[in-house]
Amino acid sequence: MIKRKILGQHFLHSSGIAQSIVLQAKITKNDTVFELGTGLGILTPLLCQHAKKVISIEADRELYEKAKSKFSSTSNLFLECGDGFQNTENFSIFVSNLPYSKSKEAIEWLAQTHFSHGVIMVQKEFAEKLVTKSAKDRRAVSIIANHTLDIEKILDVKKSNFSPPPNVDSVVLKITKKTSIDKNTINILNKIFSYRRKTIHNIFKQFGKETVIEKRLDDLTGDEIINLAKEILSN
């Protein structure tokens, strides 16, 4: 398991928490569930019990081969090995114990993707960034997440529930899709926040644009920042 820890892989071993995640996902027999990261498969059979179809994508070849053998008789499971963010199949529900290193990328991908709702587990510190009410603690991913998703904290998960245990606790979040934004807008938002100490007037100059707004990012709402990004993108 030392290799897994180095790779940032921490596997949930609590069946109770796994059942809570699946219960919160509100899966029906009409749903296609996309599981990002099969891992050791603690969620996979529970998802298959409730869903019409489960698409589970695992980037680690060794874990994929083990899951393929373990779940070979599960007819509504479609296992793949590769980059889950390249998935183009439609799904209604997203479920994932997200690798900590992929959490930001996952939120940005979900912001561009059509689905109904989902349940994700993330590092506690990352969850706090997503749900913060403090303008100073916001990041670009906070703006992206709250513009495109309704986010509800469901459960705190202690690090002792993982093997190998990470250095921090985790949080389970329920997410419901509100709207989508495109990759270009996401890229601009990330660039805007790299200049967050500047005034909006000076941020616009970085993109060869003009504005009379002298406020700073911390003075604006999330939607106002989204509108700035769209304005920068417009001709």
Rounded-to-integer distance, Cα 198 and Cα 25, Å: 41
CB-based contacts of 219, cutoff 8 Å, min separation 6 = 135
pLDDT band at 100 (very low <50, low <70, confident <90, very high): confident
Average pLDDT over residues 40-55: 98
Full set of structural domains in the chain with CATH? 2-181 (3.40.50.150), 184-233 (no CATH)
Average pLDDT over residues 8-14: 84
Does 190 have pLDDT greater than 70? Answer: yes
Among 18, 19, 23, 48, smallest CA distance to 33 is for 48
Is 88 in a helix, a strand, or coil? coil
Q: What is the pLDDT of residue 10?
A: 85
Does 56 have pLDDT greater than 80? Answer: yes
The mean of the pLDDT values for the chain is: 94
Average pLDDT over residues 113-117: 98
For the stretch 161-182, pLDDT in tens is 999 999 999 999 999 999 999 9
Region for 130 from its dihedrals, namely left if φ exceeds 0, alpha if ψ lies in -120 to 50, beta otherwise: alpha
Rounded-to-integer distance, Cα 160 and Cα 206, Å: 46
Q: At what angle do helices 140-148 and 222-233 cross, to 10 degrees?
A: 100
pLDDT band at 101 (very low <50, low <70, confident <90, very high): confident
Does 6 have pLDDT greater than 80? Answer: no
Q: Nearest 5°: phi and psi at 57?
A: -115, 125
For the stretch 62-71, pLDDT in tens is 999 999 999 9
Does 2 have pLDDT greater than 60? Answer: no
Does 30 have pLDDT greater than 80? Answer: yes
H/E element holding 118?
strand 117-123
Q: What is the pLDDT of residue 235?
A: 67
